[in-house]
Structure 1
Amino acid sequence: MTSLEDVSLHLNNKISSIKRSLQLKSMGNDPSLTTVLQKIGLELPSIQNCLDTFQGQIQQQQTEMKSLEDLKNSVQRNSEVAHHLLENIPAHLPRKASQNSMANPKDDKFQRDPIQPVPEKKSTKPKHIVREIEYLLMEEFNHVPGYMKGRMTYDQINAVIHELNAAVKAKYKILNQPLKSLTHLTRNQYNNFKEQETKETKGQYFFVEADIKDFTRLKVDKKLQGIFNILRHCHRLREVRGNHLVRYVLL
């Protein structure tokens, strides 16, 4: 709401502007001031050029300030992302082995003879290499539809992959052992594994829900089924159904 003081100030400004206009008009009729007014008129273009130059410099400074502000925001975002990555390193990534504290090599007390490597005995038995599910890359995770991911995080999915790989490794360790070396329990497991195989799974690595329960700490629930959907979407698994059994085949 406009106050009386505001109205009074506005009227005084208007009166002052009228007075200055009348003064300038009277100056134009004064022959003694004609030369001064002409000089002022000649100086106006140069003054306008200076003002234009200042305006251009101000605009340039504003553009540079905006670029610097954008750069500052970008650096800040990258710093936050780097800090987040540092604080949330996935558990499945290999870590650098910690080095034992080394003594001062100049001190004879702490000098030790170099340890000679023990030659490994060559085994005549062929090694069975069990295939594993490849971990998801962050780029792949970002391209998974939101309705599939829900609240699941990148680290949670790769942690499940780690557990599934452990189950596959444990299962095929039994399958790759000679029958004579198996215990009664492992022989029953071996026979069950063989019964689960079909023509579609021949030569492939797969697991079933029973393997998850036997060899991992995972719970077979809706959340795990949601992760299976993501792994199928990312071409890590495919399903082979038959005889009331779902086989999850590694791709």
Structure 2
Amino acid sequence: MTSVDLQDVSLQLNNKISSIKRSMQLKSMGNDPSLTKMLQKIGLELSGIRDMLDIFQMQILQQQTELKSLKDLRNSVQKNSEIAYHLLENTPAHLPRKAAQISTADSKDERVQEDPVKPEPTKNSAKPKHFVREIEYLLMEEFNHVPGYMKGRMTYDQINAVIQELNATVKAKYKILNQPLKSMTNTTRNQYHAFKEQETKETKDQYFFVETDLKDFTRLKVDKKLQGIFSILRHCHRLREVRGGHLVRYVLL
């Protein structure tokens, strides 16, 4: 056995002897009436320290819970901030607009209050413009609910861009239909009669267009991609088809 091992054994034995001596001293102190009060006081202080440590532990656990909640809140705020920034940078060019609706009774009251006496018509008075219905642009929520097999690689902005072209087609078509025949040129008059021939009982008082109208008034290509967009617009209740006479009429809803 080396000297180092003997030193370790000697140190361990000395430590044990010291522990035994300390235990004997404490035991003898317990039997000493003069030290009993001191030991009780020390016990009470130790008990108070233990209670204080328990309180500290509870406060630490509470602060850890609050810290976790603050971290979750920070992550949520950061995520919402990123979403808001993304929306700001990617605001669609076309947003749906809904015209304010006024009841018939209110409109009558306004006409009575604002203009109780109708002015006499003059020769230079402007004629009222004819209302032409438009297709409402898709909302992002609607686009997200379109099945994936319908959308393919088409984007939200692409579909709304097509809707803008369709609205321009309908506007141009019904501008001709609302013109007086006397003011038309021969070409416009021929278009007028062609539009009238497209009408059926199902399209009465409805706005619609056909593929020929797209070729006349827009640069849209009538291909599979456009037919896919028509399927999405039917799915989102923007259009419906009326077939007959070897012609497909796309009626606005």
Whether TM exceeds 0.5 here: the answer is yes
Structure 1 residues 47 and 175, CA, compared in 2 at 3 Å: closer, same or farther? same
Which residue of 2 is the match for residue 246 of structure 1? 248
Cα distance per residue 1:119-148 (max 9 Å; x no partner): xx631x342111001112233223333333
In 2: Cα distance, 1:79 partner to 1:73 partner: 10
Q: Which amino acid aligns with 1:29?
A: M
Which residue of 2 is the match for residue 135 of structure 1? 137
Q: Is 1:27–2:29 an aligned residue pair? A: no
* Contact 1:168-1:205 within 8 A present in 2 as well: yes
Mark the runs of 5 or more structure 1 residues left unpaired by the alignment. 1-11, 95-120
Cα distance per residue 1:107-126 (max 9 Å; x no partner): xxxxxxxxxxxxxx631x34
Cα distance per residue 1:11-70 (max 9 Å; x no partner): x9xx99x99888656633333565687665544433332222122212221222222222
Mark the runs of 5 or more structure 2 residues left unpaired by the alignment. 1-7, 31-35, 97-123
Which residue of 2 is the match for residue 115 of structure 1? none
In 2: Cα distance, 1:64 partner to 1:221 partner: 59
Which residue of 2 is the match for residue 222 of structure 1? 224
In 2: Cα distance, 1:171 partner to 1:77 partner: 47
Classify the secondary structure of the residue corresponding to 2:251. Answer: strand
Structure 1 residues 48 and 130, CA, compared in 2 at 3 Å: closer, same or farther? same
Which residue of 1 is the match for residue 202 of structure 2? 200
Which residue of 2 is the match for residue 122 of structure 1? 125
For 1:177-196, what aligned pairs fall within 5 Å after superposition?
177-196=179-198
Q: Which amino acid aligns with 1:143?
A: H
Cα distance per residue 1:127-171 (max 9 Å; x no partner): 211100111223322333333333333222222111110010011
Which residue of 2 is the match for residue 168 of structure 1? 170
1:82 to 64, 81, 84: 84
CA shift, 1:178, in A, is: 1.8
CA shift, 1:220, in A, is: 2.0
Which residue of 2 is the match for residue 111 of structure 1? none
Structure 1 residues 22 and 226, CA, compared in 2 at 3 Å: closer, same or farther? farther
Structure 1 residues 194 and 23, CA, compared in 2 at 3 Å: closer, same or farther? farther
Alignment length (residue pairs): 210
In 1: Cα distance, 2:241 partner to 2:186 partner: 30
Q: Which amino acid aligns with 2:24?
A: N
Please provide the CA RMSD for this pair.
Answer: 3.1
In 2: Cα distance, 1:84 partner to 1:21 partner: 71
CA shift, 1:173, in A, is: 0.8
In 2: Cα distance, 1:201 partner to 1:26 partner: 111
* Contact 1:27-1:33 within 8 A present in 2 as well: no
* Contact 2:95-2:137 within 8 A present in 1 as well: no
* Contact 1:237-1:250 within 8 A present in 2 as well: yes
Classify the secondary structure of the residue corresponding to 2:133. Answer: coil
